């Protein structure tokens, strides 16, 4: 479908007794693309990569074609804020304030995502469902490791019991993305105590997502492995990509919104260059073009 574009793989499943849903994604290609665009350090690849994966999974469960979800961490960590935006097909874009921040490994010998994101602040999830106002949910960051925070968001803001696993494996020498992915399991209202205790037993045995991906498991196999003992059927699947929706028109609209005075000041410069935070595309405006925006 997207010729020449590297794709992720995403699946959404439901248990045949309609007690829970499971989504999983292989976002290796998406996070690799992100790493090339932002030249992220290892820990920033993990922080933004996990956030992109979560956004893609949440986005894929949105119903409307033009619905979007924004997942934003403002935790006052070393890497600044981390933002990912997904559409309803799971196509994502994202950015991180300080993409080259390097941090020592944490006490477990892992990339220290919690210190990059920080734990002094909030996770905000904005769902734009085409209504007058977007739905905004905000929870205090509990771990800064992303997955636990996504679980906390769903528990507090949407009252949905959720299990989330996310992982990005980065080559320590080349900084290349070896694999990336994640899953989200959510209980449906019909789930009784029996289902909950069965799920808890499954959780105890869950391997890290990256371990399953390295074994070559597909998202569907990850769902079936994580939910061993549950009978699952596929609801739908998707091939999301890293995609930005910026355009000259959108940049012009943003410039116009800064107001006439700001535009007159910009017009003093030989040229005005605007760089997209999500894809680094540059938009250049001459003083004449800036002045013409005032008339718009
Ligand atoms: Zn862009």
What is the spatial distance between Cα 99 and Cα 64, in angstroms, rounded to a whole number?
Answer: 32
Based on the fold, state whether residues 231 and 270 are members of the same structural domain: no
Using the mean position of ligand 1's atoms as its centre, give its distance from the Cα of residue 206 in Å.
37
Mark which of 238, 264, 283 sits at the end of a domain: 238
Q: How many domains, in total, are found in the chain? A: 2
Using the mean position of ligand 1's atoms as its centre, give its distance from the Cα of residue 249 in Å.
12
Q: What is the pLDDT of residue 296?
A: 77
Asked whether residue 2 is assigned to any structural domain, the reply reads no
Asked whether residue 41 is assigned to any structural domain, the reply reads yes
Using the mean position of ligand 1's atoms as its centre, give its distance from the Cα of residue 274 in Å.
10
Asked whether residue 40 is assigned to any structural domain, the reply reads yes
What DSSP assignment string belongs to 63-84? -STT-EEEEEEE---TT--EEE
Q: Residue 288 in 3-state DSSP?
A: helix
Using the mean position of ligand 1's atoms as its centre, give its distance from the Cα of residue 6 in Å.
17
Domain residues for the domain of 186 are 9-238
Based on the fold, state whether residues 265 and 225 are members of the same structural domain: no
Q: What is the pLDDT of residue 295?
A: 83
Q: What is the pLDDT of residue 3?
A: 47
Based on the fold, state whether residues 100 and 212 are members of the same structural domain: yes
Q: What is the pLDDT of residue 5?
A: 58
What is the spatial distance between Cα 145 and Cα 209, in angstroms, rounded to a whole number?
Answer: 14
Q: What is the pLDDT of residue 2?
A: 44
Asked whether residue 30 is assigned to any structural domain, the reply reads yes
Based on the fold, state whether residues 56 and 144 are members of the same structural domain: yes
Strand partners, 74: 122
Joined tokens for residue 143: 């771990």
Asked whether residue 145 is assigned to any structural domain, the reply reads yes
Using the mean position of ligand 1's atoms as its centre, give its distance from the Cα of residue 260 in Å.
24
Q: What is the mean pLDDT of each run of 10 residues along the chain (296 residues)?
A: 68 96 98 97 98 98 95 98 97 98 95 98 96 95 98 97 97 96 95 93 94 96 96 96 94 93 93 94 95 88
Asked whether residue 276 is assigned to any structural domain, the reply reads yes
Q: What contacts 277, CB < 8 A, 6 or more positions away?
A: 95
Mark which of 238, 262, 280 sits at the end of a domain: 238
Asked whether residue 1 is assigned to any structural domain, the reply reads no
Q: What is the pLDDT of residues 20-78, one digit of tens each?
A: 999 999 999 999 999 999 999 999 999 999 999 999 999 999 999 999 999 999 999 99
Strand partners, 282: 275
Based on the fold, state whether residues 277 and 189 are members of the same structural domain: no
Using the mean position of ligand 1's atoms as its centre, give its distance from the Cα of residue 294 in Å.
23
Q: What contacts 3, CB < 8 A, 6 or more positions away?
A: none
CATH of the domain at 258: 3.90.1280.10
Based on the fold, state whether residues 55 and 200 are members of the same structural domain: yes
Joined tokens for residue 82: 């981390």
Using the mean position of ligand 1's atoms as its centre, give its distance from the Cα of residue 278 in Å.
5
Based on the fold, state whether residues 213 and 280 are members of the same structural domain: no
Q: What contacts 179, CB < 8 A, 6 or more positions away?
A: 26, 28, 167, 168, 169, 210, 213, 214
Using the mean position of ligand 1's atoms as its centre, give its distance from the Cα of residue 196 in Å.
42
CATH of the domain at 234: 3.55.30.10
Mark which of 209, 238, 267 sits at the end of a domain: 238
Using the mean position of ligand 1's atoms as its centre, give its distance from the Cα of residue 195 in Å.
44
Q: What contacts 11, CB < 8 A, 6 or more positions away?
A: 23, 24, 25, 218, 219, 220, 223, 234, 236, 237, 238
Based on the fold, state whether residues 224 and 266 are members of the same structural domain: no
Based on the fold, state whether residues 18 and 134 are members of the same structural domain: yes
Joined tokens for residue 265: 């000041």
Using the mean position of ligand 1's atoms as its centre, give its distance from the Cα of residue 21 in Å.
33
Q: What is the pLDDT of residue 273?
A: 95
Based on the fold, state whether residues 185 and 212 are members of the same structural domain: yes
Based on the fold, state whether residues 273 and 152 are members of the same structural domain: no
pTM more than 0.85: yes
Token pair 């299990």: residue: 163
- Sheet containing 177-187: order of strands: 162-170, 177-187, 20-26, 9-15, 232-238
Asked whether residue 243 is assigned to any structural domain, the reply reads no
CA torsion angle 246 248 251 252 (round to 10): -150
Based on the fold, state whether residues 42 and 180 are members of the same structural domain: yes
């Amino acid at each position: 479908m997207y010729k020449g574009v590297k794709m992720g793989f995403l699946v959404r499943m439901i248990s045949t007794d309609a007690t829970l849903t499971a989504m999983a994604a292989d976002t290796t290609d998406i996070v690799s693309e992100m790493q090339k665009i932002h030249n992220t350090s290892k820990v920033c690849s993990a922080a933004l990569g996990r956030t992109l994966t979560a956004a893609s999974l949440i986005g894929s469960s949105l119903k409307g074609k033009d619905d979007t979800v924004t997942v934003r961490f403002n935790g006052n960590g070393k890497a600044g804020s981390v933002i990912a935006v997904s559409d309803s097909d799971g196509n994502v874009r994202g950015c991180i304030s300080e993409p080259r921040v390097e941090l020592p490994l944490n006490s477990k010998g892992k990339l220290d995502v919690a210190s990059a994101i920080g734990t002094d602040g909030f996770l905000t999830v904005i769902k734009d469902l085409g209504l007058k106002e977007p739905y905004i949910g905000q929870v205090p960051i509990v771990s800064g490791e992303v997955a636990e925070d996504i679980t906390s968001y769903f528990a507090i803001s949407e009252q949905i019991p959720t299990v989330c696993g996310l992982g990005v494996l980065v080559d320590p020498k080349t900084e290349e993305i070896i694999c990336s992915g994640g899953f989200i399991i959510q209980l449906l209202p019909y789930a009784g105590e029996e289902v909950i205790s069965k799920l808890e037993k499954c959780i105890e045995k869950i391997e890290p997502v990256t371990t399953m991906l390295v074994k070559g498991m597909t998202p569907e196999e990850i769902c079936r492995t994580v939910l061993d003992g549950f009978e699952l059927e596929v609801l739908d699947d998707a091939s999301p990509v890293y995609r930005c929706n910026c355009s000259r028109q959108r940049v012009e609209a943003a410039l116009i919104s800064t107001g006439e005075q700001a535009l007159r000041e910009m017009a003093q410069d030989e040229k005005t260059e605007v760089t997209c935070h999500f894809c680094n595309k540059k938009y250049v405006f001459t003083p004449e073009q800036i002045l013409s925006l005032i008339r718009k």
